[in-house]
Amino acid sequence: MDPIQQWTLGIVLATFILYIGIAVWSRASSTSEFFVAGKGVPAVANGMATAADWMSAASFISMAGIIAFSGRDGSRYLMGWTGGYVLLALLLAPYLRKFGKFTVPDFVGDRYYSGTARVVAIICAIFISFTYVCGQMQGVGIVFARFLKVDVNLGVAIGMLIVFFYAVMGGMKGITYTQVAQYCVLIFAFMVPAFFISFQFAGNPIPQLGFGGEYKDSGQFILDRLDGLTEQLGFTPYTSGGLTTINLFCITAALMFGTAGLPHVIVRFYTVKKVKAARTSAFWALLFIAILYTAAPSVAVFARTNMIDTISGTAYKDAPSWFKNWEETGLVAWLDKNGDGRINYLSGSPFEISAGDTKLKPRFELTEGKRGPHGQRLVLNAPTDNENELLVDRDIMVLANPEIAGLPTWVIGLVAAGGLAAALSTAAGLLLVISTAFAHDLVKKTFKPELSDKDELKLARIGAGVAVVIAGYFGMNPPGFVAQVVAFAFGLAASSFFPAIILGIFSKRVTKEGAISGMIVGIAFTALYIVYFKFINPSANSEENWFLGISPEGIGTVGMVLNLVVTLVITKFTPPPPEEVRKLVERIRLPE
């Protein structure tokens, strides 16, 4: 075992022991503690827990890399995921806290005085949560595999065991305090390499400022330099965009309204003491999220500049060691098309997708000792006819950061622990939504109202346990559709939940008929559009065939507008809601 693995193992073990210790200390003893942490979580702690819940494996590992390779177009994720938070804080959190029950389906069911509405909401919540949680379990497996060289499935199993332990035992209370610890781990792990790398490149340790600074005292701003480098290599200049304005607008909107509708984040606001604390904790949460989200685009710029500087046109034998390390893990692949021994990095796909793969990934020669003339791993994919020879996985931008910056080995271990913290915290939050939807919404509220508190708690624990096992199974055997659907979960949430909740609070007149038909039309339209372009007729998935030039990623915005229109029109023609519902709406509009 090399020093990197020793450090990684040590740090990861230490954090796991910490999480389990917290879970034992804060285990839940009642349904209220299990579902909403007894409504006694302080606002700052809830803010941290929300931030950890919110930032998934993708935020931590992939986002900076996505931005590094998409430049200004990457803004859709930055604005989409944080802007949705403003909607959540201003339009949803305080009122749902005042409503004061356990879940989102609870609200939808009561406000729309209908068991059908509740069941539609339960199905949406479970579907969205499962899609998401599978991705998290897979993320855990990948971190284990890359840093500790264990099998991906073993990694998933270890992750399952940890989550099982503290989610089943501690419920929301255990999860909340574990997430506080996980936030601290993940933000520390993200920021330490960011400080160092910003200092090296821009002479300023604060990455948010180094972003706009000069490149190594050259008198040239780092962004200008990167614009020049990218343009020279045939890419769109870094600070210009390639997406059309309407498409960018719709994708950003789908991400914003979708995040605001994610059930595992909304439920966090049920855990604080009062409405006032719900508002305050929303502020803390966005502040904690913003630390990572404003550092990520800076890291993206430094990493991309550095990659082009050190790799483009360099002879393979002179390439830095991180390049070769990550080549061993398959995240970097070089195919020497012109045989000059230099790495030509330009715009375009370096090689074709192999038969049986759904996306471009390198297939390497696996025979021991069979290498290229310069010692590189041989790529078996058929070459394309452009001059680009390099494929770089976007995840490398965060994972390889410490090595690129030449940081001590313990920092690499820290990054692994941070990635795990991000994945585990999100997974736990989602599993809780699933178990609550099952035990509370489905069994107690829909089928067996006479269920005792003790039995409900037992059922919730069983539900959480079963959900962990299912999620772990899908993490090990990801069904092909999951990876593709995760990206669309936001559009589905935007087109179903968001309008129903908003109208439920801001209108007393909207009726159950309106809301139910709106949700069904919205989600059905969005799902069909996505399914058509992604599965039925993928070859037609291009701008000239899209509705108004909007890609499947952004169609949730149109679905949401449809939902609103349908809801309002149907409401006009149906009798107004009963008096209790008007009273309920009036009640949630006032703080305690």
Partner 1 sequence: MSESEVSPEKAAHYWRRNVRLVSILLAIWFLVSYGCGILFVDWLDQFRIPGTGFKLGFWFAQQGSIFVFVVLIAVYVIGMNRIDKEVAHEEEGTDFDI
Catalog residues that contact partner 1 under the rule CB under 8 A. 42-44, 67, 72, 74-75, 78-79, 82-83, 85-87, 89-91, 94, 208, 211-214, 221-224, 239-241, 245, 248-249, 252-253, 256, 274, 276-277, 279-280, 282-284, 286-287, 290, 293-294, 297, 506, 586-587, 589-592
Q: Which residue type, as a one-letter code, is found at position 391? A: L
Residue placing its CB nearer to partner 1 in the complex, 249 or 410: 249
Other C-beta atoms closer than 10 Å to the C-beta of 84 total: 27
113: its two tokens? 């005085």
Task: Give Cβ neighbours of residue 448 (< 8 Å, ≥ 6 apart).
Answer: none
Give ∠ CA 442-447-449 in degrees, rounded to 5: 100
Dihedral, CA of residue 185, residue 191, residue 196 and residue 200, to nearest 10: 160
Residue placing its CB nearer to partner 1 in the complex, 371 or 589: 589
Q: How far is CA 340 from the centre of its chain?
A: 41
**Residue 7 beta carbon to partner 1: minimum distance, rounded to whole angstroms:** 32
What is the Cα–Cα distance from 555 to 527, expressed in whole angstroms? 9
Residue placing its CB nearer to partner 1 in the complex, 24 or 86: 86
Residue placing its CB nearer to partner 1 in the complex, 73 or 403: 73
What is the Cα–Cα distance from 413 to 193, expressed in whole angstroms? 12
What is the Cα–Cα distance from 421 to 158, expressed in whole angstroms? 13
CA distances from 278 to 96, 156, 282, 444 (A): 9, 34, 6, 26
Residue placing its CB nearer to partner 1 in the complex, 290 or 561: 290
Task: Give Cβ neighbours of residue 39 (< 8 Å, ≥ 6 apart).
Answer: 32, 270, 271, 272, 273
Scanning the structure block, which residue is given the tokens 């809301």? 515
What is the Cα–Cα distance from 170 to 23, expressed in whole angstroms? 6
Residue placing its CB nearer to partner 1 in the complex, 297 or 362: 297
Phi, psi at 576, each rounded to 5° = -60, 160
**Residue 41 beta carbon to partner 1: minimum distance, rounded to whole angstroms:** 12
Phi, psi at 313, each rounded to 5° = 80, 0
Phi, psi at 351, each rounded to 5° = -150, 170
**Residue 445 beta carbon to partner 1: minimum distance, rounded to whole angstroms:** 24
CA atoms within 13 A on the CB side of 380: 9
**Residue 91 beta carbon to partner 1: minimum distance, rounded to whole angstroms:** 7
122: its two tokens? 């339960």
Residue placing its CB nearer to partner 1 in the complex, 370 or 583: 583
**Residue 273 beta carbon to partner 1: minimum distance, rounded to whole angstroms:** 8
What is the Cα–Cα distance from 70 to 66, expressed in whole angstroms? 6
**Residue 293 beta carbon to partner 1: minimum distance, rounded to whole angstroms:** 6
Task: Give Cβ neighbours of residue 513 (< 8 Å, ≥ 6 apart).
Answer: 570, 571, 574
49: its two tokens? 């827990």
Helix or strand or coil: residue 392? strand
**Residue 164 beta carbon to partner 1: minimum distance, rounded to whole angstroms:** 33
**Residue 87 beta carbon to partner 1: minimum distance, rounded to whole angstroms:** 8
Residue placing its CB nearer to partner 1 in the complex, 232 or 239: 239
Residue placing its CB nearer to partner 1 in the complex, 448 or 583: 583
Q: Which of 481, 494, 486 is nearest to 426 (CA)?
A: 486
Residue placing its CB nearer to partner 1 in the complex, 89 or 562: 89
**Residue 281 beta carbon to partner 1: minimum distance, rounded to whole angstroms:** 9
Residue placing its CB nearer to partner 1 in the complex, 237 or 341: 237
Scanning the structure block, which residue is given the tokens 């089943």? 168
Residue placing its CB nearer to partner 1 in the complex, 209 or 380: 209
Helix or strand or coil: residue 142? helix
Residue placing its CB nearer to partner 1 in the complex, 240 or 477: 240
Residue placing its CB nearer to partner 1 in the complex, 552 or 554: 554
Q: Is 236 exposed, middle or buried (0-12, 13-18, 19+ CB in 10 A)?
A: middle
Range 5-44 burial, b when 16+ CB lie within 10 A, else e: bebbbebbeebbeebbebbeebbbeebbbbbbbbbebebb
**Residue 249 beta carbon to partner 1: minimum distance, rounded to whole angstroms:** 5
**Residue 268 beta carbon to partner 1: minimum distance, rounded to whole angstroms:** 15
Scanning the structure block, which residue is given the tokens 């045989």? 339
151: its two tokens? 């099998």
**Residue 111 beta carbon to partner 1: minimum distance, rounded to whole angstroms:** 17
DSSP per-residue string spanning 331-379: SEEE--TTSSSB----SS-SBPPPTT-SS----B--STT---TTSPPPB
Residue placing its CB nearer to partner 1 in the complex, 49 or 148: 49
Q: How far is CA 452 from the centre of its chain?
A: 36
Contact call for residues 212 and 221 (beta carbons, < 8 A) = yes
Task: Give Cβ neighbours of residue 524 (< 8 Å, ≥ 6 apart).
Answer: none
**Residue 61 beta carbon to partner 1: minimum distance, rounded to whole angstroms:** 19
Contact call for residues 195 and 488 (beta carbons, < 8 A) = no
